[in-house]
Homo-oligomer: A and B are copies of this chain.
């Protein structure tokens, strides 16, 4: 992850793109790239998804990477350690969704 962050910074700074990469613009780009990833699954049922995934592994990996690159950069710019943030959030989620209540339940994220 540290190596990747170094490459992301170098890529951006060589092109003098920092001036565009404020937090709002990066969050906009994360959402746009997430929607491009989602587009791979648009209109498809489970079977069509499976087939599409088998035939488009590299394109899907590229879309995942696009989201991840902007996400890593935004965290970096805000001084947030993304791996540490994931770790802490997983612990919060574990408290929020205790195994005995959440087990196998489809309504898990419903805010009831």
Complex alpha-carbon distance, A74 and B78, angstroms = 25
A interface residues (Cβ-Cβ under 8 A, vs B): 1, 3-4, 7-8, 11, 14-17, 19-20, 22-25, 27-32, 34-46, 48-49, 53, 57, 60-62, 64-69, 71-72, 74-75, 78, 80, 82-83, 85-90, 92-94, 97, 99, 102-104, 106-109
Tell me the smallest distance from the CB of A58 to a CB of chain B, in Å.
9
| Total identical chains | 4
Give the residues in chain B near A23, CB-CB below 8 Å. 41, 49, 53
Complex alpha-carbon distance, A53 and B27, angstroms = 13
Q: With A65-B88, A103-B15, A104-B15 as known contacts, state yes or no: A46 contacts B28, CB within 8 Å.
A: no
